[in-house]
Structure 1
Amino acid sequence: MNRVCSTIVGPAESDVPPAVLVHGVLAWGDDETYGFGRQRPLGASRRLILMDRRGHGDSPDLDGAHRTDYEVDAADIVELLGDGAHLVGHSYGAVAAMLAAVERPDLVRSLCLIQPGCLKVAESEPVVAENLARARASQVTLPPELTAEDYLRLITESVGMPPAEPTPKRLRAAATSMRERPCWDTDIPLESLAAAPWPKLVVVGDWAGAPDEYKRLAGDPLTVTARVVADRIGGELLEVPGFYPHVQQPERVNEALEELWSRADAR
């Protein structure tokens, strides 16, 4: 299998470990709209590896039933960790990052999860259970004639958000999302992450300013899930204004990442 592509930011050599950042849906590594483009300033002090997951950005497509798969992403992440790196994941990318950290905890220096999409771990919470039931039903009812542009418009307008510009990269990411292996149904051994010695941080937005429907369908279950994950892995929980933390509050998130990485480097 061909290797994934990544955008490299920062010095080629450094005295501190690099950081691997793994984007979520509809994005790619250095995308400033949904990805980690606004984390570029962190490259002033260490090497950043902004990964393009398969089916996104400049990475190759994934053959098979799914165009994106968190287990495949996890294997790609392990390869990018090299001799050891800090690990950051958002949404779908956070699920893959968690699995990579479970597989190779010896290569992880710290773990930051931004609104992780692993809803199943919090299914005992009613708001999450309701969301999962809805997601499972909608996954099997996508009409075959639905195009990537239709899908991109549907998933934004249906929750009151303005549609994203349908650029070729964005449409490719949308087509990939239409055939994703659902990350929200992943079984993740949180006890393995809890046992890991490195520091952990979970970031969540307060969802202020989000359309009501978007907050109800996405914000509420993601917020509950973030709190459950932070509690069960022994991670610090950071709440910031808005609903796309690393995009809307890059200074707050970047400051938190620098503090997390410095603390881990000093261990």
Structure 2
Amino acid sequence: MSVLTTDLRPHLALVTGSSGGIGKATCLALASMGCSIAVHYHSSTSAAEELVKELRTKGVRAEAFKADLTKYDEILNNDVTTHQVRTLHAEVVKSLGNPTILFNNAGLTLKSGIKSITEISIDEFEHTWRANCGSAFLMTQLCLPEMEKAGWGRVIFCSSVAGFNGGVVGPHYASSKSALHGLVHWLASAYAKSGVTVNGVAPALIQDTTMLPGNNEELAKKIPIGRLGYPIEVAETVVWMVKTGYVTNKVVGVDGGFFVQ
């Protein structure tokens, strides 16, 4: 009997922020192992729908779910209901079942290249924290009990090299990402005997994403190996964390040697 989980046909992955970049690459990588996919997106409807079509060609169940993860609870504006974290989870469970794999990938930078703490208001700070950490905490809180009941689960957070060294975006972003590291460590320890592993990936300067704070050529000079990373390289790290139950309580940098851990 293999100790690796390589057949994901019994499993459902909820990937937040999955209409492009790292999220899309991860959806495709997991689907290639038979995993059903709940595709979350915020505004890129056409990209999400195209991804769902591509995933279904792999023979897996896949659906797209729109939600604004900067807020926790459903709101009603001008008779239009906007889905948030709780309603996203409820819709996924209703349509596809309970996720056994959760990749908390969605996030934002808001502002980049901040040189002074006075450039970020407290409202901007809290908005960034809520999107990058608070919503990931809440989604994990909603998903983890069913994973524990099943005796198997994978929770993975997308952090950033900024969580290790402060990065180049600003204090709002760095602190929201480093907060995920503490969350990983507590959760992994608390659920270690339940069959649920908890880890994080910390990318640096990944091309084909919306998170790059500058010109690709100039940014590549900051990376020891001399190039930016690709979304698939982060996705493959996530897949490794899904496959093995002996990796937990880790935040792994995917950064071309940018940060020596």
TM-score of Structure 1 vs Structure 2, range by shorter chain: 0.3 to 0.5
TM-score (norm 1): 0.44
TM-score (norm 2): 0.45
